Amino acid sequence: MAHGGGGGGGGRGGGRINVLNVAEKPSVAKSVSEILSRNQQLISRRGRSQFNCIFEFDYVIRGQPCHMLFTSVLGHLMELDFDDRYRKWNSCDPVDLYHATVRKFVPEDKLNIQRTLEEEARKCQWLILWLDCDREGENIAFEVIDVCTKVNRNLDIKRAHFSALIERAIKDSVQNLVMPNKLFADAVDVRQEIDLRIGASFTRFQTMLLSNAFVLDASTNTDGRNLVLSYGPCQFPTLGFVVERYWEREAHEPEDFWTINCTHRSEEGTATFNWMRNHLFDYACALVIYELCVDEPTATVTDVRHQEKLKYPPYPLSTIELEKRASRYLHMSAEHTMKVAEDLYNWGFISYPRTETDRFSLETDLRAMVSEQQGHERWGSYAQRLLDPEAGVWRNPGNGGHDDKAHPPIHPTRFSNGESNWTQQHHKVYELVVRHFLACVSQPAKGAETAVHVDIAGEKFSSTGRVILEKNYLDVYIYESWAGSLIPTYTHGQQFMPTTLTLDSGVTRPPPLLTEADLLTCMDKAGIGTDATMHDHIKKLLDRSYAIKENAYFIPTDLGQALVMGYDDMGYELWKPYLRARMESDMKDVSIGNKRRAEVLDACLQQMKACFIDARARKEKLFEAMGNFFERSNRSSNNDQTSGGVVRKCDLCHNSDMVLKQKPDGNFMVGCLGYPLCRNVVWLPGSISQAVVTGNTCLTCTPGPVFKIQFKFRRLEIPPDYNADHLGCIGGCDDTLKQLIDICGTGARNTSSTPGRGRGNPTSSSSGQRSNSRGRMACIYCRQTGHSSDVCPSHISQSNRRTQGFGQQNGRGQGNSTSSSIGGRINPRNQDFGRQNGEASIPCSSCGSPCTLLTSNSARNPGRKFYSCQACRNFNGWEDMLSGGGSVPRPSGFASNARRGGRANRSGGGHGSSGAFVSATGEPVSGRCFICGDPSHFANVCPNRGR
């Protein structure tokens, strides 16, 4: 049995207790088990997951005999995602994702790990968490706690804090167990939910709006239809840095400048003197000054300064500095650097590589760490010099001013000349960590610097020389250099004749593109991401084809530029770091208890939801920006329709979903996502201004579920006795919806076509679709199914006489039976083209065809007769408002802008009705167009609509 020290909690003094220990990775579980058990009587067995073994051994904690069961997870045990109702892209309006229900759950591929934890937790009294000691690790710890306490609520829970997988650190941590930090876990929960909601909403919005609307090049879009234009709250500001620098470079216009250079050569060497003005952009001015110097070229020494110069070693190594220096010195990406560093940490050769700390605590035994490196063939001799008091090389490390209170700076934890399983990158990263650590505990390099100032014809020039006296840390830190430059000896008042005196030209250069080290610096200064996530954000830019990396420099792609340009034109600087920096600051406040989790979450999501709504309203800016780089595509299957949520499973193909969509002209429909293989569609009333799929399901229509739609109708386009707001079902049970379709028509394609004068059978390319979508609805007159309201037997009266009248009016002879078809439907009730009860017909004010005298069935005008054109569906006025008897004159004041299958808004005429408006059923409506004020039309047909 191994011996342990302090820590732990309850159960002391009793018999042996079972302790469940959980690490973040299998390799950590194995290493800690081997350290604590000293490889004596260590038993290994398989758990439910083949990758997560269980190690068993005995140990003593604070005098309490323990049987340790040590297993692991694989990073996060749980995922945060939306409920199934919202997970499909077309399941809802993206704006709903800001308040949609989310849940944290164990995904399918980690259920076996969950089962292992549950089985082992049932038989244990203690739970010790060995997760990485940062916010992310703390969040994982509470995921493990959640799983274990559901099966055993009596667990005594403790947390082990460690920064290196070495015996000293592990045994110290088990002797000082603490409580898990809920605030750290809450901060991660806030970040996860914010990123999920914002990322999902903007990603769906961008992708559905743009991916099929433009022809993207092959490097950006490999399959043409499955491109995801992702958005991330950290990813986009990172892209912004790349694009902004690229635009600065592209906008740079070279400008010529001129400068005066002077050299002086003597027996001691050559000195180059720089003009104190640096340069001038005015050639004439520079030439005048130069000629003055040439006329009086004697140089007089005005000042000679000798001073000691120090070049200081770096601060202790943090994660960001490791990534930046590996990029600069080793030419390794930040992502690869972190992967290699994680390996070295898991194998016990360096400390935990994710840390913001760049200062060592006073309790750290730095000399012991240096002592371990004395045997190395390349830097061992320098380590010996550091430990030699007479050499005077040792210096306590500087304080970088950052301390995350969780981990020390990155440093070597075990000596190695290189292991057999190391790659070249492992050797390089380990060497960088060791040399950096040895450098930070070393004296700065020392030099003697001489600065000489001279005067030539009133112009000032200067030269600097340097002698390196002691290299100190530069002897081990081979990545930096400090060159010396000798100049002749000068004294105050000395005069000499310059060897050369020239007027040289130059040109301004654009700022350089960003390297990875530069990009990390920008992100760090702006507070974008954390030390553990910055390299992931950079990688996503490359994975999403928003940027490329060429010769170590980042260049934005056309796609990356277009997206940034679109949001910039909207006036929202979503690509700037300010918004995310505030979020990161708020999350840090959550982690230290200054702000509550719900407070930060609500404030951030409220702000971003408003931003999303406004961005969507200005989506044309994205189209314009994309149009600057890409050609428009014809791939969009439904004329660039935008989706608004899944309504039901398609009842025709039974494979795809039926989705609410809005066409560019504003009309709504429910169409199958399987288009063009499946062309099932339900056209909705043309008077809808807004439509949103809700979570309410219809209890009548089958097969279900059929989700109801919340409609908002334009008030002036529906009869007064109908509500403008309606929660409806498209499955066939909704009488109100069916009546409004019959009254107002639909937003089907080709709605503006007008049949030929006197013809009774106009056709439409969408006739089949309209017939299919409406034929399933019950008749609005007799409430029976099996026929539409257009052919209702109870509503057809005197049809023979109407047909006969039609034939006479068109010169087709007696007895010709001709009927009207709109969208492929027979409309006997609109066939009243001839005389009825001895009354003459009137010509249509729109197309000139004979009108039909019909009887209104509305609640306000029951039995009232009106004239309607069979050919173009134009309402021509009430019978009692027009001149009666014999021959009825054509009413004046009617303007025709009817659409087949839709309502016709007309101004009344004749007999005092001038200036009045009527609805589709002839209901009088007072007022005028609320868009432009013109009384000759309604807002739905206003030429200024949508401007």
User: Is residue 676 reached through a cis peptide bond, with omega within 30 degrees of 0 on the bond before it?
Assistant: yes
- Look up residue 548 and give its DSSP letter: E
Q: What is the pLDDT of residue 381?
A: 95
Q: What does the block give as tokens for 723? A: 């509500």
Q: What is the SS3 assignment for 734? A: coil
Told to judge if 352 belongs to the known catalytic residues of this protein, a careful annotator would answer yes
User: Residue 449 — pLDDT band, cuts 50, 70, 90?
Assistant: very high
Query: What span, in angstroms and rounded, lies between the C-alpha atoms of 619 and 614?
Result: 9
- Mean pLDDT on 440-462: 96
Query: What span, in angstroms and rounded, lies between the C-alpha atoms of 685 and 668?
Result: 8
Q: What is the pLDDT of residue 747?
A: 66
Of the two residues 934 and 850, the one the predictor is more confident about is 850
**Is residue 481's pLDDT more than 80?**
yes
- Mean pLDDT on 79-89: 89
User: Residue 594 — pLDDT band, cuts 50, 70, 90?
Assistant: very high
Give the Å distances, CA to CA, from 714 to 334, 644, 682, 724, 810.
56, 19, 20, 7, 38
pLDDT digits (tens, 9 = 90+) for 145-176: 999 999 999 999 999 988 888 888 898 899 88
Query: What span, in angstroms and rounded, lies between the C-alpha atoms of 540 and 199?
Result: 13
Task: Give the start-end residues of each E strand in 83-155.
Answer: 102-105, 126-130
DSSP string, 18-32: EEEEEESSHHHHHHH
Domain map (residue ranges) of the chain = 17-186, 202-245+512-626, 256-312+446-507, 319-443, 636-777
Of all residues in the chain, the percent with pLDDT exceeding 90 is 46
- Mean pLDDT on 36-51: 89
Of all residues in the chain, the percent with pLDDT exceeding 70 is 77
Q: What is the pLDDT of residue 898?
A: 30
Q: What is the pLDDT of residue 875?
A: 67
Domain 17-186 grouped into CATH 3.40.50.140: yes
The dihedral sign for the CA sequence 922, 925, 929, 931: negative
User: Residue 751 — pLDDT band, cuts 50, 70, 90?
Assistant: very low
Q: What is the pLDDT of residue 798?
A: 34
Is 186:590 a contact under the CB 8 Å cutoff? yes
- Mean pLDDT on 326-340: 94
Q: What is the pLDDT of residue 881?
A: 64
**Is residue 644's pLDDT more than 80?**
no
User: Residue 845 — pLDDT band, cuts 50, 70, 90?
Assistant: low
Residue 855's contacts (CB-CB under 8 Å, 6 or more residues apart) are: 863, 864, 865
What average pLDDT is seen over the chain? Answer: 79
Q: What is the pLDDT of residue 11?
A: 46
Q: What is the pLDDT of residue 277?
A: 95
- Mean pLDDT on 938-947: 55
Q: What is the pLDDT of residue 88?
A: 85
Q: What is the pLDDT of residue 528?
A: 85
Q: Best-predicted range by mean pLDDT among 203-217, 238-252, 859-873?
A: 238-252
The dihedral sign for the CA sequence 218, 220, 223, 225: negative
Beta bridge partners of 692: 710
Q: Environment class of residue 889 by beta-carbon count within 10 Å: exposed (0-12), middle (13-18) or buried (19+)?
A: exposed
Query: Which of 57-71, 277-291, 713-727, 857-871 has the least mean pLDDT?
Result: 857-871
Is 847:833 a contact under the CB 8 Å cutoff? no
Query: What span, in angstroms and rounded, lies between the C-alpha atoms of 753 and 847?
Result: 12
Q: What is the pLDDT of residue 529?
A: 79
- Mean pLDDT on 498-520: 94
- Mean pLDDT on 217-223: 50
269 torsion bin: left (phi>0), alpha (psi -120 to 50), beta (else): left
The hierarchical CATH code for the domain 256-312+446-507 is 2.70.20.10
Q: What is the SS3 assignment for 48? A: coil
Of the two residues 770 and 839, the one the predictor is more confident about is 839
Q: What is the pLDDT of residue 240?
A: 93
Query: What span, in angstroms and rounded, lies between the C-alpha atoms of 866 and 881?
Result: 9
Of the two residues 753 and 32, the one the predictor is more confident about is 32
Give the Å distances, CA to CA, from 250 to 200, 254, 284, 470, 893.
32, 11, 29, 44, 61
Query: What span, in angstroms and rounded, lies between the C-alpha atoms of 679 and 764?
Result: 15
- Mean pLDDT on 244-273: 94
Q: What is the pLDDT of residue 858?
A: 59
User: Residue 882 — pLDDT band, cuts 50, 70, 90?
Assistant: low
Is 497:299 a contact under the CB 8 Å cutoff? yes
pLDDT digits (tens, 9 = 90+) for 426-445: 999 999 999 999 999 999 99
Q: What is the pLDDT of residue 577?
A: 83
Per the document, the length of the chain is 947
Is 52:184 a contact under the CB 8 Å cutoff? no
Query: Which of 481-490, 596-605, 642-651, 821-830 has the least mean pLDDT?
Result: 821-830
Q: What is the pLDDT of residue 871?
A: 64
Question: Which candidate in 59, 315, 352, 477 is catalytic?
Answer: 352
Query: What span, in angstroms and rounded, lies between the C-alpha atoms of 746 and 903?
Result: 9
**Is residue 597's pLDDT more than 70?**
yes
Q: What is the pLDDT of residue 931?
A: 52
**Is residue 477's pLDDT more than 90?**
yes
Q: Domain 319-443 is classified in which CATH homologous superfamily?
A: Topoisomerase I, domain 4 (1.10.290.10)
Is 239:589 a contact under the CB 8 Å cutoff? no
Task: Give the start-end residues of each E strand in 201-268.
Answer: 214-215, 256-266
Correct CATH for 202-245+512-626 of 3.10.20.30, 3.40.605.10, 3.40.50.300, 1.10.460.10:
1.10.460.10
**Is residue 776's pLDDT more than 80?**
no
Query: Which of 385-389, 654-658, 814-818 has the least mean pLDDT?
Result: 814-818
**Is residue 785's pLDDT more than 50?**
no
The dihedral sign for the CA sequence 371, 374, 379, 385: positive
**Is residue 929's pLDDT more than 80?**
no
**Is residue 243's pLDDT more than 70?**
yes
Q: What is the pLDDT of residue 90?
A: 77
Of the two residues 831 and 414, the one the predictor is more confident about is 414
Query: Which of 111-125, 676-690, 837-851, 859-873 has the least mean pLDDT?
Result: 837-851
- Mean pLDDT on 635-662: 69
The separation between CA 730 and the C-alpha centre of its own chain, rounded to angstroms, equals: 33
Is 771:755 a contact under the CB 8 Å cutoff? no
Nearest-Å Rg of the Cα atoms of the chain is 40
Is 885:871 a contact under the CB 8 Å cutoff? no
